[in-house]
Copies of this chain bind each other. A is one copy, B any other.
Amino acid sequence: MITGKNYLGHQLSAKGSKTYQTFNPQLNIENDSTFTEATSEEIDEAVALASEAFKPFRTTSGKQKAKFLNTIADEILALDDELIQTYCSETGLPEGRAKGERGRTVGQLRSFAELITEGSWVEATIDTAQPDRQPISKSDIRKLLIPLGPVVVFGASNFPLAYSTAGGDTAAALAAGCPVIVKSHPMHAGTGELVASAIIKAAKKTNMPNGVFSNINSSGIHVGGELVKHSGVKAVGFTGSIKGGRALYDLAAQREEPIPVFAEMGSINPVVILPEALKNRNESLAKTYAGSITLGTGQFCTNPGLLLGVKSEGLSNFVQNLSNEIIKIEPSCMLHPNIIGAYEHNKQKAISQPRLTVTADYESDVQTNYARQAITTVEGKTFIENPTLHQEVFGPYSIVVQCENKTQLKTIISNLEGQLTGTLIADNDEASNHPEIVSALQNRVGRIIYNGVPTGVEVCPSMVHGGPYPSSTDSRFTAVGIHSIKRWVRPFSYQDWPNELLPNELKNENPLGISRLVNNKQTSDNI
């Protein structure tokens, strides 16, 4: 049941006077529930509870934390139809997507549970003492990764489950041993509260400390800012716009004690299409990309917003084919009137730039809140000269840039803002014949794809979801996959510490049987 209240640790609370509702974009009406924005007092309480919970939670064993994560997954599944219906009513997304995203969310929780049950992720590193070393003896030193402290996670508008309340950031932070305070996304506050209730149930069932998780409502930006500035908060996770992520990064950097912010922000995900591929697969490529550009109404951070090629008959045909294919696709609903409003505004802004040709713009009538897909094209020189054309248009829109030659293509790639992904479409020897293009692309992105589409972010250890600024605020981490746990931990050394007082991960006996670097050799052996 949705109460509209905040979870301050295990307790529901609604002391504020500011309320708001979520919106059903398919029906174009407000949903029933009313949510109460958290007050400063409630924020303080959530942070105080998290700080207190951190004391026992940071040394809670991997197996116990895994039980917590698996129980969260179970409780999310137990929400069953109520969750799916609420999700759909707050996003306009179809049931299939809701179920798929729930599967992804549950899968993420279980994969972190597996990681911490096994336990080697703490990178235990041991150098034993050398009492007789000359000229001075060497101490016994042992290192492992420990949690940073309370983490604030901002729910994402476009992934109410997988990148929100119990999404990747939360799962990774809890797995690391960090209490989490979620700043719920106002567009899907009901979905958020339901998932929060599942987390609280799981926390109680597995005896986790009160304050290990809180869920904070707010419709504006003030509450998020207060959370990031709070001295008890030690790190921040965010998925959203460049403007939003940068604002949080700036607040965190300006604190007396600066804290890390991992913000996964905008990206236009360049796709480079080489001539042979255009020659051999023009129509099928056009079809594939029309699908990728409109997938989820273009509301993915890996949406291909920029296609690059060298001016040719093949490229002209591709623009035509892509435009024909995309117009055939039925328009679909966007997440919220604000999102469709921003899409229409940004699309118009892009389309109205000088020396740009609109080759497709869905013209038939569409339902309210449905997005009209569009394709535009410009010459390389125009793209270089006009940074407005580099900006993300969040939605089913792409621009095709027709470069003068390969040198200009390389120049454009080299000067792109940082991106989550880059894709190369090539046939036969084209990839090996263009090392400079591959190299330029690699330097601007976090993930490079060969003959595929950037949409679809696999959750697996080899995935990098992140990249050079502004695709993320810290390219040294990924937001997806088990290694995203590294965002929320720090290395810590024990020197000459008594064996019996060391954490299990570092004891001579290796009671957890984990893999450790002992005197520079990776081993699971005892010492």
Residues of A bordering B, CB below 8 Å: 55, 59, 123, 125-127, 136, 138-139, 141-143, 146, 148-149, 249-250, 253-254, 257-260, 418, 431-432, 438-439, 442-443, 446-452, 456, 458, 460-464, 466-470, 473-478, 483, 486-487, 489-498, 500-501, 515, 517, 520, 522
Q: Which residue of B lies closest to A516 (CB)?
A: B462
Q: A470-B257, A486-B476 are in contact. Are A493 and B448 (CB under 8 A)?
A: yes
Copies of this chain in the oligomer: 2
- A515 pairs with B522, CB closer than 8 A: yes
- A449 pairs with B495, CB closer than 8 A: yes
Q: A142-B462, A253-B249, A464-B491 are in contact. Are A260 and B474 (CB under 8 A)?
A: yes
Residues of chain B with a CB closer than 8 A to A432's CB: 498, 500-501
A501 vs B462: C-alpha distance when bound (angstroms): 17
Q: A253-B250, A439-B55, A497-B450 are in contact. Are A258 and B463 (CB under 8 A)?
A: no
A506 vs B30: C-alpha distance when bound (angstroms): 51
Residues of chain B with a CB closer than 8 A to A431's CB: 498, 501
Q: A139-B458, A141-B458, A501-B432 are in contact. Are A464 and B493 (CB under 8 A)?
A: yes
13 more contacts with CB within 8 A, not counting A257-B469, A447-B495, A452-B495, are A125-B462, A127-B463, A141-B458, A143-B461, A257-B418, A260-B474, A438-B501, A442-B492, A446-B491, A447-B494, A449-B496, A464-B491, A477-B491
A476 vs B149: C-alpha distance when bound (angstroms): 12
Give the distance to chain B from A107, nearest Cβ to Cβ, in Å: 13
A42 vs B440: C-alpha distance when bound (angstroms): 26
- A253 pairs with B258, CB closer than 8 A: yes
- A492 pairs with B446, CB closer than 8 A: yes
Residues of chain B with a CB closer than 8 A to A139's CB: 449, 452, 456, 458
Q: A148-B475, A257-B418 are in contact. Are A491 and B483 (CB under 8 A)?
A: yes
- B449 pairs with A125, CB closer than 8 A: no
Give the distance to chain B from A217, nearest Cβ to Cβ, in Å: 29
- A446 pairs with B490, CB closer than 8 A: yes
A317 vs B432: C-alpha distance when bound (angstroms): 75
- B517 pairs with A461, CB closer than 8 A: yes
- A258 pairs with B498, CB closer than 8 A: no
Give the distance to chain B from A337, nearest Cβ to Cβ, in Å: 31
Give the distance to chain B from A52, nearest Cβ to Cβ, in Å: 12
Q: Which residue of B lies closest to A96 (CB)?
A: B135
Interface centre among A123, A136, A462, A487, by most chain B C-beta atoms within 10 angstroms, is A462
Q: A127-B461, A257-B418 are in contact. Are A478 and B491 (CB under 8 A)?
A: yes
Of B125, B438, B446, B494, the contact of A493 (CB 8 Å cutoff): B446
Residues of chain B with a CB closer than 8 A to A467's CB: 490
29 contacts between A and B (CB under 8 A): A125-B483, A127-B460, A127-B461, A138-B458, A139-B449, A139-B458, A141-B462, A148-B476, A149-B443, A249-B258, A253-B253, A253-B254, A257-B418, A257-B469, A258-B469, A258-B473, A431-B498, A432-B498, A448-B492, A450-B497, A450-B498, A463-B493, A475-B490, A476-B487, A476-B490, A476-B491, A478-B491, A483-B491, A522-B522
Residues of chain B with a CB closer than 8 A to A149's CB: 443
A249 vs B252: C-alpha distance when bound (angstroms): 12
A255 vs B186: C-alpha distance when bound (angstroms): 30
- B464 pairs with A143, CB closer than 8 A: yes
Q: A461-B517, A486-B476 are in contact. Are A450 and B496 (CB under 8 A)?
A: yes
A450 vs B136: C-alpha distance when bound (angstroms): 18
A335 vs B397: C-alpha distance when bound (angstroms): 62
- B141 pairs with A463, CB closer than 8 A: yes
A467 vs B492: C-alpha distance when bound (angstroms): 8
Residues of chain B with a CB closer than 8 A to A520's CB: 461
A448 vs B501: C-alpha distance when bound (angstroms): 12
A493 vs B451: C-alpha distance when bound (angstroms): 15
Residues of chain B with a CB closer than 8 A to A55's CB: 439
Give the distance to chain B from A483, nearest Cβ to Cβ, in Å: 7
A486 vs B486: C-alpha distance when bound (angstroms): 11
Residues of chain B with a CB closer than 8 A to A475's CB: 148, 490
Residues of chain B with a CB closer than 8 A to A451's CB: 496
Give the distance to chain B from A362, nearest Cβ to Cβ, in Å: 26
- A450 pairs with B258, CB closer than 8 A: no
Q: Which residue of B lies closest to A148 (CB)?
A: B475
Residues of chain B with a CB closer than 8 A to A493's CB: 446-448, 462-464
Lowest 10 A-B CB distances belong to which pairs? A253-B253, A447-B493, A464-B493, A141-B462, A475-B490, A143-B462, A449-B495, A125-B462, A127-B460, A127-B462
A5 vs B230: C-alpha distance when bound (angstroms): 47
Residues of chain B with a CB closer than 8 A to A450's CB: 494-498
Residues of chain B with a CB closer than 8 A to A515's CB: 522
- A143 pairs with B463, CB closer than 8 A: yes
Give the distance to chain B from A463, nearest Cβ to Cβ, in Å: 6
